[in-house]
Amino acid sequence: MESLLDPFQYLFFQKGMLVATIAGALCGVVGVYVVLRGMSYIGHGLSHAIFGGAAASSIISFNYFIGAGLWGLVSALMIGKVTRRKVIGSDAAIGVITTASFALGLALFATFGSARKSVDAVLFGSILGVSSTDIWALVGMSSFTAAVLVLNYRPLLFATFDPDVAAVSGVNTARVDALLMLVLAGSILVTMKIIGVLLIAALLVIPASIARLLTNSFARMLSYSGVIGALTGATGMYLSYHLNVSAGASIVLVGAVVFVVAFGATTMKRQVVVVG
Amino acid sequence: MSVALVAMHRVSCAYGRDRALEDVSMVVEPGDFIGIVGPSGCGKTTLLRSILGTMQPCDGQVVRRERLKIGYVPQVETVDWQFPVTVREVVSMAKPTSRWSPWSTREERSTVDALLERLGVGGLAHRHIRELSGGQQQRVFIARALLRAPELLVLDEPTSGVDVRTRHEMLHLLAELNEPGLAVLVTTHDLNGLAAHLPHLMCLNRRVIAAGAPRMVLNPRVLEATFGAPMAVLEHAGMPLVVDDYTHFNDQLFRTKEA
C-alpha cells in the first residue's frame, strides 16, 4: 500500500498529476469538436506548426506562450481558411503549412543550438519539469475554453453538425470556426510541453473517440470525453512512475487500451442486440 | 398588396465558368406554395442557395425582405447520420439564445416537444437521428427549421428516396404548414408524387422554362424542354399524370427488328 502511494510524497509528481488530469480533460473536451469535424489531422498538424513558433520564441528569448501562441493562431487561421477552399485537398494544404513550420523549428534549433528549450523536451514533453507558469497557463486556458464552449454551445454544435444550415439560420459560422481554432491552438500550446508535439494528437482524439463509442448524444459525448481524458491523464501519469516510462507515452497508451476495451465491449453489445 | 419575401431579378449564378443558373426571375410572396422541378443538375439547389444567401449571383439581384426569417431543410443525403445527436438536440440547436447556459429551459423543452408532437414525431426526442425512418427524419429537420418561426420554409428534395406513403404524408404536412400563411418553396424531380399536387410550379433547366399552375406547365412541350426527354401527360382523377413517352423509341426498335 505504501509503495502505491509512494510517488505522491514528491512535489514534482503531485504537480504532474494535476497537469495530466487538467490537460486530459481540456484536450478531451476540445477533441470532441476535432473528431466530429473530421479535423484530427489539423490537430496533429497544428502541434507541429506550433513547434516552429516555440523554436522561434526560444531563439529570440521571447515569451514562449505569446510567441508560440501567435504562431499557432496564425497557422490555425491559415489552416481554417485552406480547409474552406476546395481547390486542393485540405489534407495536402495542412501538410504544407504545418510541416513547413515544423521544419523551420527544427532548422532553428539546429542552427542556434544554445537555445534554452531542448528539441526533445518539446517533441516528447516533460511533464515532471512543468513550472508554476505552465500550470497557471493550463488552468487559464482550461477556464477560457470552458467559458467559450458554454457560451457558444448551440452555435458550435449547429456549425459542427450542419454548417450550411447553421449559416442560413443566423449562426456566424466564420466567427464560430475562428473561435474553435483559437481554443484548439491555445489548448495545444499549453499542453504541448506536457505531452509533447508527437503525442498531443492522441490526447485530442482518443478520449473523444472512446466517448463516441459510448453515447449517441452530443452533450453526453462532451462530458464523457472530458472525464475520460482526465482519468486517462491521471492513470497514465501514475503508471509512468511505476513503469518508468515517459508520462506522455504512458497517458496515450492508457487511452489506447481503454479505446480497445470500449470498442470490443460496444461491438459485442451490438452483436448481442442483433442476435437477440 | 403584400410585400414579396424574396424577389429574384434576372439572376445568373456560376461555378467557375460554368453557369448553373441563367437569367432567372421569380417572386415568393407570403403564403405561396411553389415547387421547382427539373432534372438533376438543372440548378435547383443553386437557386435555393441564392435565395438563402449562401451563394452570390454573378449577374442580377436577389432581394430579400428585411429581417426575413427563412427555415431551411437540406437534402437528407447531406446529413451526417453518424453524428452523435438526439432528436431533441437537432431541433434545439436552431434556437437562438441570449442565455449563457447551454441547457434548455423548461419552456424551451416544452416548445420543442410541442413542435415534435405537431409534426407527428412526439416521443422520439431522446432517440438518435439514425434510428428514425426516412419520413421521421424529414419531420425532425422540418421541426428544426420551424423552431425559429420562419416566414419562408425552403426544402431541398424532401421526398427524395422515401416510399409512397411517406411522400403522401410529406405532401399533406407541407400543405398543412402552408395553410396559415407560411410560404413554402420546395425543389423536386418527383412530378406525379409531389409537383402535380402543388398550386404553383416552376420548370427549371438552368433557365426558367415555364411557370404556373401544374395544369398549365405540365405539358409535353415544356416537359421535354425541361427534362430533355419526351414525356406524355395523361389525366387521372382530374390531375395531370406524367409518363415517359417511349413511342418514338418503340417505333424505332420495331423498325429495326422488322428490318
Cα angle for residues B210, B53, B225 (degrees, 5° grid): 20
Phi, psi (deg, nearest 5) at residue A231? -70, -40
Instruction: Judge: A154–B97 Cβ closer than 8 Å, yes or no.
Output: yes
| Closest residue in A to B150 (Cα–Cα) | A169
In this predicted model, which residue has the larger pLDDT, A122 or A241?
A241
Which residues in chain A are contacts of B90 at CB distance < 8 A? 161
State the pLDDT at residue A252.
92
Per-residue pLDDT of A14-56, as tens digits, reads: 999 999 999 999 999 999 999 998 888 877 888 888 888 888 8
State the pLDDT at residue B47.
95
pLDDT band at A212 (very low <50, low <70, confident <90, very high): very high
Instruction: Judge: A36–B84 Cβ closer than 8 Å, yes or no.
Output: yes
Instruction: Judge: A158–B74 Cβ closer than 8 Å, yes or no.
Output: no
Chain B: nearest CA to A46, how far in angstroms?
Answer: 24
State the residue range of the domain holding A237: 2-275
Instruction: Judge: A221–B70 Cβ closer than 8 Å, yes or no.
Output: no
State the pLDDT at residue A274.
61
Alpha helices, DSSP H, located in chain A: 2-5, 11-36, 40-59, 64-84, 90-111, 119-124, 132-151, 153-161, 163-168, 173-195, 200-214, 218-243, 247-275
State the pLDDT at residue B151.
95
What is the CATH superfamily name and number for domain B69-150? P-loop containing nucleotide triphosphate hydrolases (3.40.50.300)
User: Hey, how many other C-beta atoms are within 10 angstroms of the C-beta on A53?
Assistant: 26
Instruction: Judge: B84–A161 Cβ closer than 8 Å, yes or no.
Output: no
Which residues in chain B are contacts of A146 at CB distance < 8 A? none
State the pLDDT at residue A209.
96
Report how many Cβ contacts below 8 Å link chain A to chain B: 67
**Contact between B196 and B218 (Cβ < 8 Å):** yes
- What are B84's strand-pairing partners? none
Per-residue pLDDT of B155-174, as tens digits, reads: 999 888 778 888 888 889 99
Instruction: Judge: A216–B128 Cβ closer than 8 Å, yes or no.
Output: yes
Kindly tell me if the per-residue pLDDT of B196 is higher than 90: no
Q: Please, where in chain B does CATH 3.40.50.300 lie?
A: 1-68+183-259, 69-150
Kindly tell me if the per-residue pLDDT of B1 is higher than 80: no
Distance CA A86, CA A80 (A): 12
Domain at B1-68+183-259: CATH code: 3.40.50.300
Q: Which of A136-145, A257-266, B136-145, B222-231 has the lowest mean pLDDT?
A: B222-231
Q: Which of A253-267, B216-230, B241-255 has the lowest mean pLDDT?
A: B241-255
Kindly tell me if the per-residue pLDDT of A117 is higher than 60: no
Which residues in chain B are contacts of A217 at CB distance < 8 A? 84-86, 89, 128
| Closest residue in B to A152 (Cα–Cα) | B102
Number of domains in chain A: 1
